[in-house]
Amino acid sequence: MKTQRIPTLKRGFTLMELMVAMAITTIIVTVLVSITSIALDTWNRSRSELRASRQAKSMIDTMARDFESLVVRRGNTNEWLSAVAGSGGVGDSVESTNASEFIFFTAVTDRYNGQVGDPNLDKGGDVSCVAYKLYYKNPIDSQSSNFETFVVNRKLVNPDDTFEKLLGETDTSTDKGLDSVFSATTFAQDLENPTNFVCENVFQFSVTFNVQVTRAGGAGGTTTVVNVPVTIGKNNSAQKFNITGSGIDTDYAGGQVTNEELESGRITSVDISVTVISDFGIDQLSRRQFSATQQAEFLAKNSYEFTKTVQIPSM
């Protein structure tokens, strides 16, 4: 006679086991999501900083080459460099903290469209005029208000036009400065043209002229050398800085030296400082309004600053 075997019942998970398993799974998923979020934030910030670095390099390298070739002639009444603090209003919800304008003569190598030596273009001139200005506009279509950002433009006037319309036309003895002469030409209007675009997302750029002043009258007839940094437009350092054939003309009032001593000083170097806002930051500027506190926090989180010192041996 066969004995019938009663199969044992299969045991399932208890409610407590399911709850523990779900809790462990939730913790693991939360940790993975946090790690992924941190990794994405790090990647996005690194990508933004790399792009900002490229934009700043384009801006600083271009301006550095122009300053390295700065042309100044002594013993005349001409003005060779004009730096004026911007009048403000560059920007929308957040305005640029420094939108200075620069015009000066230089022997840059990209004159004649970069084809120096071409007999069909190069007519032998070696002194050009360059102008820099910061705008808040669409970098491609200046008439469109869509996709506005901070844009730096550079206008290069080739040597032939420089000689005919600018070089020698300035006369500080009659208050006919380089800025007013340049503004009266078509070059000033052409400066805003998209073809003169250098880079975008530049919130501000500052230039500091390092002036070496020799002071006489010390003990025993000795002289002392004082280095005076003059920043244009930032922290109310100076609203103008001009280099003329007779010396330096500026409204700087730092207290270290007198105006007469500063006028006879020489520029040893130029510090160029650029603040670049990330693409995400520019997008937020077009969508939000900021208080003064929010603006400072926003810029600290979404902008990058780069600097470079350029030696001026010709001065």
Q: Say if residue 17's pLDDT is above 70.
A: yes
Which pLDDT belongs to residue 126? 86
Which pLDDT belongs to residue 261? 85
pLDDT above 90 as % of the chain: 35
Examine residue 223 and state whether it is found in any structural domain, yes or no. yes
Q: Are the C-beta atoms of 126 and 158 separated by less than 8 Å? A: no
Task: Give the tens place of pLDDT for each residue, 86-137.
Answer: 766 788 778 888 888 999 999 988 887 777 766 677 677 889 999 999 999 8
Which pLDDT belongs to residue 270? 95
Length of the chain: 315
Which pLDDT belongs to residue 307? 93
Examine residue 252 and state whether it is found in any structural domain, yes or no. yes
Which pLDDT belongs to residue 188? 92
Examine residue 6 and state whether it is found in any structural domain, yes or no. no
Tokens representing 298 are 């926003």
Range of the domain at 289: 40-311
**Would strands 202-215 and 224-231 be described as parallel, antiparallel, or unpaired?**
antiparallel
- Whole-angstrom Cα distance, residue 287 to residue 300? 18
- Whole-angstrom Cα distance, residue 104 to residue 315? 14
DSSP secondary structure of 253-286? --SSS-HHHHHT-EEEEEEEEEEEE-HHHHHHHT
Examine residue 35 and state whether it is found in any structural domain, yes or no. no
Examine residue 229 and state whether it is found in any structural domain, yes or no. yes
Q: Say if residue 9's pLDDT is above 60.
A: no
Task: Give the tens place of pLDDT for each residue, 212-245.
Answer: 988 776 666 677 888 989 999 866 678 899 999 9
Q: What is the pTM of this model?
A: 0.82
Which pLDDT belongs to residue 6? 56
Tokens representing 32 are 């993975």
Q: Are the C-beta atoms of 178 and 79 separated by less than 8 Å? A: yes
Task: Give the tens place of pLDDT for each residue, 19-74.
Answer: 888 999 999 999 988 888 888 877 777 777 788 888 889 899 999 999 999 999 88
What are φ and ψ of residue 149, in 5° steps? -155, 175
1 pLDDT band (50/70/90 cuts)? low
Examine residue 11 and state whether it is found in any structural domain, yes or no. no
Q: Say if residue 314's pLDDT is above 70.
A: no
CB atoms within 10 A of CB 160: 16
Residues 162-188 have a mean pLDDT of: 89
10 pLDDT band (50/70/90 cuts)? low
Q: Is 263 left (phi over 0), alpha (psi -120 to 50) or beta?
A: alpha
**Would strands 266-277 and 202-215 be described as parallel, antiparallel, or unpaired?**
antiparallel
Examine residue 27 and state whether it is found in any structural domain, yes or no. no
**Which residues neighbour 273 within 8 Å (Cβ) at sequence distance 6 or greater?**
205, 206, 207, 208, 305, 306, 307
Residue 301's identity, in one-letter code, is: K
DSSP H helical segments within 146-230, as ranges? 159-165, 178-183, 186-190
Number of domains in the chain: 1
Examine residue 14 and state whether it is found in any structural domain, yes or no. no
CB atoms within 10 A of CB 303: 17
- Whole-angstrom Cα distance, residue 221 to residue 178? 39
Task: Give the tens place of pLDDT for each residue, 266-301.
Answer: 999 999 999 999 888 888 887 888 887 888 888 888
- Whole-angstrom Cα distance, residue 103 to residue 242? 10
5 pLDDT band (50/70/90 cuts)? low
Residues 181-193 have a mean pLDDT of: 92
Of residues 187 and 290, more confidently modeled:
187
Q: Are the C-beta atoms of 194 and 257 separated by less than 8 Å? A: no
Which pLDDT belongs to residue 132? 96
In order of 27, 66, 281, the CA distances from 108 in angstroms are 62, 6, 34
- Whole-angstrom Cα distance, residue 101 to residue 305? 19
